[in-house]
Structures are given as C-alpha cells and as structure tokens.
Chain A
Amino acid sequence: SQKIEQNSEALNIQEGKTATLTCNYTNYSPAYLQWYRQDPGRGPVFLLLIRENEKEKRKERLKVTFDTTLKQSLFHITASQPADSATYLCALMKTSYDKVIFGPGTSLSVIP
C-alpha cells in the first residue's frame, strides 16, 4: 500500500541555521509533491508545489527538491526563525485531478 514517511523525530534547530525536512514515499508515483505548514489548532497552509519533472523549486527562504528515483523530497528553510516553528506536511498527488495524500508531518522548533 502507499506509504509516506517524514522525519520520525521532532526537529530542533538554532535560529539562523538551515532546517532540512525529509519526505520519503513508497508504492506511489506522484506527478506533484506539495509542502504545507500547520500551526497548532489550525488547518494546513500551502507553501510550495514541485512537479515530477522539476528537480528544485525555491520561494524566498524555502527550497524543495524532488528525486523521483530515490522517491524522496527534501524541504529546506534557510536562515530559520522562531516564527518558522510549526509542523510541516508533505503531500502527494498522482495527477492534477487526483486526491491529495498527506504524510504524518514533522514538527520543527527553531530555538532563539
């Protein structure tokens, strides 16, 4: 069955450092991979989408890579700030008309 795994442990990093979050998937061939941010008690908020034919995507301090051979995406936050502390969710879609499947999320804490 389809499975999405993200960093199993919460990630704690020092302010100013780069946070790197991992998303691995099995038994799935997504055409699109998304990253969302979720704060406690709130719905997820879309951050970035990357297509299977794209290796890398950037938006301000965020960078996403997508390796369809390794079945892995890496999500980087550079110059991290305490306000970046949240849970980050990886989400996959087979096609633009397909449902979205979410991973379990990784909790990130940026320590001042």
Chain B
Amino acid sequence: DTGVSQDPRHKITKRGQNVTFRCDPISEHNRLYWYRQTLGQGPEFLTYFQNEAQLEKSRLLSDRFSAERPKGSFSTLEIQRTEQGDSAMYLCASSRTADYEQYFGPGTRLTVT
C-alpha cells in the first residue's frame, strides 16, 4: 500500500497525558498537512509542512500542540496535557508541491477521558 498511513488508528488517553501521532506520507510528496475533524464538521486546518519546514500553524492551535517533520519524511503531532476538548479525528494528508490534490490518511481517532 503506497498511500498515506497514520499510527495509531485509535488512541484512548486520560486527561493530562501527552500523546503523539505519526503520519507517513506518500514518498514523493513534499507537502504534509495535519487537520482535526469533529463529528459533523469538515477538517479543520492545524499546520502544514513543505519538506521539513513548517510553513503555517493555525492560530487556533494552542501551545500544547506541536508538529515536526524531520528530514522531510514522516511527521509527528504531539499534544501535551490533553483535554477532553482534544477528542477528535486527527487527519494527515500529503501532496506534491503546487499539486492541489491532497491524499488523506485514515486518521487517528483520539478519545480523552
């Protein structure tokens, strides 16, 4: 399977714990995006990378959220001190530079209890 993969697919954590998600994009894609989606809503932009450079981060994203893409390959999204409001589906997508079509992974569903 050469699509976008995400790990884990599901994560249940207790409030206050830290969690980290991983995304492996399609190998030749320079761009990588992170989104958050709650029930009945469209994906909400969090951040995106061009190779290893983080080009933009949503103003809605608190300092508890951080993302990295070392060496321009896979990416990690970390949420520190999780809150119940962080419960959502976290989606990763990748694309070629200046190629508009984004390829999405299956998502990581986070439940904070």
Q: Are A99 and B45 in contact (CB under 8 A)?
A: yes
Q: Contact check: which of B33, B91, B101, B107 meets A46 at CB < 8 Å?
A: B101
Give CA–CA (A93, B35) in the complex, Å: 15
Interface string of B13-40 (1 = CB under 8 A from A): 0000000000000000000010100001
Give CA–CA (A12, B42) in the complex, Å: 20
Is A101's CB within 8 Å of the partner chain B? yes
Q: Contact check: which of A4, A41, A100, A105 meets B102 at CB < 8 Å?
A: A100
Contacts A89-B42, A102-B43, A104-B41 given: A43-B100 contact, CB under 8 Å? no
Q: Which of A41, A43, A91, A105 has the most CB of B within 10 A?
A: A43
Give CA–CA (A45, B91) in the complex, Å: 12
Chain A interface, number of residues (Cβ within 8 angstroms): 22
Is A49's CB within 8 Å of the partner chain B? yes
Is B48's CB within 8 Å of the partner chain A? yes
Give CA–CA (A89, B35) in the complex, Å: 14
Min CB distance, B50 to chain A, in Å? 8
Contacts A49-B100, A99-B48 given: A105-B42 contact, CB under 8 Å? yes
Is A34's CB within 8 Å of the partner chain B? yes
Give CA–CA (A91, B55) in the complex, Å: 19
Is B65's CB within 8 Å of the partner chain A? no
Q: Are B100 and A102 in contact (CB under 8 A)?
A: no
Can you identify 19 A-B contacts, CB atoms within 8 angstroms? A43-B105, A43-B106, A43-B107, A44-B43, A44-B91, A44-B104, A46-B101, A46-B102, A46-B103, A91-B42, A96-B98, A97-B98, A99-B33, A100-B33, A100-B102, A102-B35, A102-B42, A103-B42, A105-B42
Q: A41-B107, A104-B40 are in contact. List 10 more A-B contacts (CB 8 A).
A: A43-B91, A43-B104, A44-B102, A49-B101, A89-B42, A89-B43, A99-B33, A99-B45, A102-B44, A104-B41
Contact surface of B with A, Cβ cutoff 8 Å: 4, 33, 35, 40-45, 48, 56, 91, 93, 97-98, 100-107
